[in-house]
């Protein structure tokens, strides 16, 4: 397992927490696929699943931030766009065989996700808690 869900990752929103947990599960599946030496096609499917779920989750998270009038939403959206563009870049390079799926890719995805949830996402969570 690459990432384990812990309470310090909670953004105090049940739906978004569930989405973060699902996202972690997809990333863990990808990591396990690498460790198990799964065929390239299976790993590509996991990258696509990660990309699709990332878009879905970011859309929901941005709707939530809009609903609470979160003041730093534009900066947050920029971070989301960056992560999506990196996954798209990885996928494109993997498809064209210019990039081998590796722990380097996995570590980028993991580190960005954890840092984003513990840092950037906690900011809107704190903002929301203070508004109550």
Could you tell me the residue range of the domain that residue 57 belongs to? 30-131
Does residue 2 sit within a domain? no
Instruction: Assess if residue 107 is contained within a domain.
Output: yes
Query: How many domains, the chain?
Result: 1
47 inside domain? yes
Is residue 48 helix, strand or coil? helix
CATH code of the domain covering residue 105: 1.20.120.50
| In-domain check, residue 10 | no
- pLDDT, tens digit only, all 132 positions of the chain: 889 999 999 999 999 999 999 999 998 988 888 888 887 788 788 888 989 999 999 999 999 999 999 999 999 999 999 999 998 988 888 778 776 666 777 888 889 999 999 999 999 999 999 987
The verdict on residue 17 lying in a domain is no
Classify burial at 11, counting beta carbons within 10 Å of its beta carbon; exposed 0-12, middle 13-18, buried 19 or more. buried
Is 19 a domain residue? Answer: no
85 in any annotated domain? yes
Q: What's the predicted TM-score (pTM) here? A: 0.89
Measure the CA–CA gap between 100 and 11, rounded to whole angstroms.
Answer: 34
């Amino acid at each position: 397992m690459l990432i384990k869900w812990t309470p310090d990752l909670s953004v105090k929103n049940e739906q978004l927490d569930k989405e973060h947990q699902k996202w972690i599960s997809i990333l863990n599946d990808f990591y396990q696929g690498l460790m198990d030496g799964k065929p390239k096609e299976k790993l590509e499917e996991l990258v696509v699943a990660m990309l699709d779920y990332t878009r879905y989750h970011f859309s929901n998270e941005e709707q939530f931030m809009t609903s609470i009038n979160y003041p730093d939403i534009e900066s947050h959206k920029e971070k989301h766009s960056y992560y999506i563009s990196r996954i798209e870049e990885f996928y494109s390079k993997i498809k064209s065989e210019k990039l081998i799926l590796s722990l380097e890719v996995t570590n980028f995805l993991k580190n960005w996700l954890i840092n984003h949830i513990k840092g950037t996402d906690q900011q809107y969570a704190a903002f929301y808690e203070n508004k109550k």
